[in-house]
Amino acid sequence: MRDTILNSLLAAAHGLSDEQKEFQKMAFDFAAHEMSPHMAEWDEKEIFPVETMRKAAQLGFGGIYVQPEVGGSGLSRLDTSVIFEALSTGCVSTTAYISIHNMCNWMIDTFGNTEQREKFCPELCTMDKFASYCLTEPGSGSDAASLLTTAKLEGDHYILNGSKAFISGGGDTDVYIVMCRTGGKGPKGISCVVVEKDTPGLSFGKKEKKVGWNSQPTRAVILEDCHVPVTNRLGQEGQGFNIAMRGLNGGRINIASCSLGAAHACVQLARDHLLVRKQFGEALSNNQFLQFKLAEMATKLVASRLLLREAAVALQESRSDAVSLCSMAKLFVTDECFNICNQALQMHGGYGYLKDYAVQQFVRDIRVHQILEGMYTPCKSVKNKILFSMRGV
């Protein structure tokens, strides 16, 4: 009976439409057959699984919330969260990159003009080309509005100089969404341009050695007198910071969904381990303390999922509380899901620390989710909205 209840909770289908359940099943099946069997190898050998991701794109996962007229699937933010949770049960690192690629694709689809959308989006949706998001710099992480990369207008080109740090896909991708300073200090001086691979002046740092996320390369992106056509600017000059933050609202939902998938998988792994591991003459699953721990993990998983899906719906509907909910959900879900995965590793005992057991890779891969995409929105007005909304709590 207990196992039946746990399975129903892990099914993650509560409240979903029949169509959403189909998306979810498709993603779970893809994760189980195309990703999970290779997850450890991709991690150990640091393989960027291009062909596997292109198979995912054939299912519509290269432009999940991009408009159909440029090759996207046109799905909602909730649909997207459901898909990324399911895919992450097969490989968090690869799914996290797919989520970043989707965010970049959406930014071009949303803020680009007709020519830009038709030029870039179709090949990004098929994943014939891959994208990277370039905001963070060596001296500006959470304080993104202080970025120093400059873009000086000369004729019909911008001349970019500066560097970006911790760029997922850097050096292996084809399209770089770069935030750069075309005006004065602060957020209103920032613009957004698309820099294409092989543009003169574009180069990359060494491939970083990371604790997790090893199936996606991470490098610095270096811009030295990099000539980018004005026609590659998304939106108007000075709109770049707003574009970056709009992208990150969805990015927070996406990355939290990846944490959710890892926690989902780890609860199952812990449950399965407790059923087969025996100590003191009986299965660990008969130990009441461990039963309580597993119940707590399942409870936190479901609570995280409910908050995250509420935030996804708020973002889709452009509600006034959307930005606050996206930030809250990202903070809560990435923290709680890491704790779930870490507890699952603890339940495995010494075996959980061996690379033969997948639980340790889930722990390593989602630890960075508590760092990137920002816990809190740096915009003062958003902080004020959160404080104001709490007066009625």
Q: Which amino acid is at 31?
A: A
CB distance 115 to 106 below 8 Å? no
Give the CA-trace dihedral at 371, 61, 326, 379, to 10 degrees: 70
Segments in 317-358 forming alpha helices (H): 322-347
Catalytic-residue membership of 373: yes
- Listed in order, strand segments (DSSP E) in the chain are 131-134, 150-154, 157-168, 175-181, 190-196, 202-204, 218-229, 233-234, 278-279, 282-283
CB distance 230 to 115 below 8 Å? no
CB distance 374 to 300 below 8 Å? no
Token pair in block for residue 99: 């989520």
Q: Is 251 exposed, middle or buried (0-12, 13-18, 19+ CB in 10 A)?
A: buried
Catalytic residue among 85, 137, 336, 373: 373
| 202, β-bridge pairs | 223
Please name the residues in contact with 308: beta carbons below 8 A apart, sequence gap of 6 or more. Answer: 81, 253, 256, 257, 260, 329, 333
Dihedral sign (CA 24, 27, 32, 35):
negative
Backbone angles phi and psi of 192, in degrees to 5: -125, 125
CA 217/CA 143 separation, integer angstroms: 24
| 102, β-bridge pairs | none
CB distance 25 to 83 below 8 Å? no
The one-character DSSP state at 292 is H
Please name the residues in contact with 293: beta carbons below 8 A apart, sequence gap of 6 or more. Answer: 343, 347
* Positions marked catalytic: 373
